Chains A and B, each alone.
Chain A
Amino acid sequence: MSAADFEMSNRPRRDYSLVGESTRRAIETGLASAEWYHTEVARKTMKELMQRSDAPAIRDTMLWIGLILGSAAGAITFWGTWWCVPFFAVYGVLYGSASDSRWHECGHGTAFKTRWMNDVVYQIASFMLMRNPVVWRWSHARHHTDTIIVGRDAEIAVMRPPDLLRAALAFTGYGDFRHALPALLRQASGRLSDDEKSYIPETEWQRAVVAARWHVAIYVATVAVALYTRSFLPLMLIGLPRIYGSWHMVLTGLLQHIGLADNVIDHRLNSRTVYMNPVSRWIYWNMNYHVEHHMFPMVPYHALPRLHALIKHDLPAPNPSMWHAYKEAWPVLLRQLRYEDFYLKRELPATARPYRHEFHNMAVSAAAE
C-alpha cells in the first residue's frame, strides 16, 4: 500500500475467549456470521476458477513425499555426524511447514478433485502438525465465517495487545508446540474446552476425542521406539519436526492478518496478499494470495494467481515482498503494545467500492449500546 494510515480509538479491552464479552458484542452488533464483501466476478469465470483437478496436487504431493523420504534417508544415513543437519533442515520444513498448507487446502477440499485424496492428505498433515483433524476442521470453518472477529474467530494468531515474546517463540516452533501437545492430551482424555465446544457441534465431540487418541497413540509408540533403541532419532523424525521445522509456516502465516483491522467484514481490510519467492509459494501453496483465498475459498490453490490477476483492481496493493510486509507490520505491533486499537488501515483503490464502513469506524461497544 502506498500511504499507510493509522487509526486509533478508545475501545474496551478485547476478550479473545469464544464465550465471553466480545462474543456477545459481536453477535449483538451483527459482526458474527455477517455477509462479507465479494468483488464481482462473472459466474462463468468463477466457475472456471473453481474447477477441481487432481493433476497439480498429485504432482505436488509426490514431490512433497519424495523430498520428505529423500531428506529423511539422508538424515538417517548421516545421523551422528554434522552432515545430517542440512537433511534435517529440509525434512523439518517439509514436515513442520509444508504440512500446514496441505492441511489447509485439503481441509477445504480444493487441493484434489478426488475426495478421498483430500481426506488422506488432510489426516496425514493434521498428524504432522499435532492438530486434531476434527477440532481444526471446525475452527477453520469459524475462521472463514468470522475472520478476525474478536470473540468469534478461533484462529487469531496475534492478539491485541500483541504478545511479542510469544510471536518470537512461534518462530522456534516451541510457542505453538507447548499449546498443541497439551491440547491433544486433554482432548485424548475426553475433555474439550468451552471454546472448542462453542464451534464444534455436539455430534462431533466424540470423533474429536477418538482422533486425538490416535495421534497420542502414535506419539507414545514413537517414544517407546526411541527408548527401546536408546536413540533420539525416531523423535527427530516424528514429533520434533513440528518444532524445528515450523519456522517457515510462521514466517508466511503470521503475515496473513497481523497489524490489520479486526472486527470488519471486508477481507480487503483484514487480510494481506504478499508476493513471495517461488519456493515459499510452493511450500505455502499460494496462500500468499490471502485476500483472494478468503473472498473465494472455493478457488483451488493453483488457480489463485489467476484469481489475483482478475480482481486485483479491487484490492489494496499487495506487499511486494515478505520483508516489505514485516517492515510495514512491525511498527504497528509496537504501537499496539500501548494502544491496542491501533491498526494499519488498508487503502482501497480509488475505483473500489467500500463496504459496510460503519464497522470500520465504530467502536463495537458503542454499537452495542
Chain B
Amino acid sequence: MAEWIEACAAGDIDEEDVMRFDHAGRTFAVYRSPDDEYFATDGLCTHERVHLADGLVMDDIIECPKHNGRFNYKTGAAKGAPVCVNLKTYPVKVTAGKVLIEIE
C-alpha cells in the first residue's frame, strides 16, 4: 500500500539540484527544479547502477554522472543513448516545510 514518506526538509535541496534519499532498502533521487517545484524518481540510473544524485540538474533534465545519460526527471523519460529505459517517478508534496514522496 502506498504511503507518504518524509524525504528531507524543503530547504535541504538547492534550487536546480538533486539529493539522494534512501528508505527501506531502496534509493531515490529528490529534485528541486529551477522554478522551485519538487520531484522524485528512482535513485539509480537505468543504464547501470549509478546514483543520479551525483549528477547535474539542468532545467528539467538530470544528467547521470557516469556516462552523461539524460532523463527528464519530471516525467522520467530517457532522452537518448546511453539511457534507453525510462526512470520511475513518484508523487511528491511539500507539507509544513517537509518534502514527502509517495512510495508503494
Which residues on A are within 8 Å of B, measured CB to CB? 33, 44, 46-47, 50-52, 108-110, 113, 134, 137-138, 141, 144-145, 201, 203-204, 296-298
Contacts and interface: CB of A to CB of B under 8 A. Distances in A.
Given A145-B48, A201-B84, A110 B68 contact: yes
Interface string B76-104: 00000110100000000000000000000
Interface in B50-95: 54-56, 58, 63, 65-68, 70, 81-82, 84
5 contacts: A52-B58, A113-B58, A144-B66, A297-B67, A298-B65
A298 B63 contact: yes
A108 B68 contact: yes
B42 interface: no
A167 B14 CA distance: 49
Given A137-B82, A203-B84, A298-B56, A33 B63 contact: no
A144 B81 contact: no
B23 interface: no
A142 to B, nearest CB: 9
Nearest to A145: B48
Q: Which size class do B's interface residues fall under? A: 10 to 19
Contacts of B26: none
A138 B65 CA distance: 16
Chain B interface SS verdict (over half): loop
B68 A298 contact: yes
B62 to A, nearest CB: 11
Contacts of A46: 54
Contact of A137 (B47, B48, B81): B81
Interface in B15-73: 17, 47-49, 54-56, 58, 63, 65-68, 70
Contacts of A201: 84
Nearest to A110: B68
B67 A144 contact: yes
A139 to B, nearest CB: 11
B63 A47 contact: no
Interface of B: 14, 17, 47-49, 54-56, 58, 63, 65-68, 70, 81-82, 84
Given A33-B48, A138-B81, A298 B58 contact: no
B20 to A, nearest CB: 10
Nearest to A204: B81
Interface centre among A52, A296, A298 (most CB of B within 10 A): A298
A291 B43 CA distance: 26
Contact of A138 (B14, B48, B56, B82): B82
A207 to B, nearest CB: 9
B82 A297 contact: no
Contacts of A50: 56
Nearest to A108: B68
Given A52-B58, A109-B63, A297 B68 contact: yes
Contact of A297 (B17, B66, B84): B66
Contacts of A134: 81
A145 B82 CA distance: 12
A203 B82 CA distance: 11
B38 to A, nearest CB: 18
A297 B70 contact: no
Interchain residue pairs A-B with the least CB separation, the first 4: A141-B67, A141-B82, A50-B56, A109-B68
B65 A297 contact: yes
Contacts of B68: 108-110, 297-298
B58 A145 contact: no
Given A138-B82, A201-B84, A298 B55 contact: yes
A33 B66 CA distance: 11
Contacts of A204: 81, 84
Contacts of B47: 141
A47 B58 CA distance: 11
B51 to A, nearest CB: 10
B17 A47 contact: yes
Interface centre among A108, A109, A110, A113 (most CB of B within 10 A): A109
Contacts of A113: 58
Nearest to A203: B84
Contacts of B56: 47, 50-52, 298
Nearest to A49: B56
Nearest to A144: B67
Contacts of B48: 33, 145
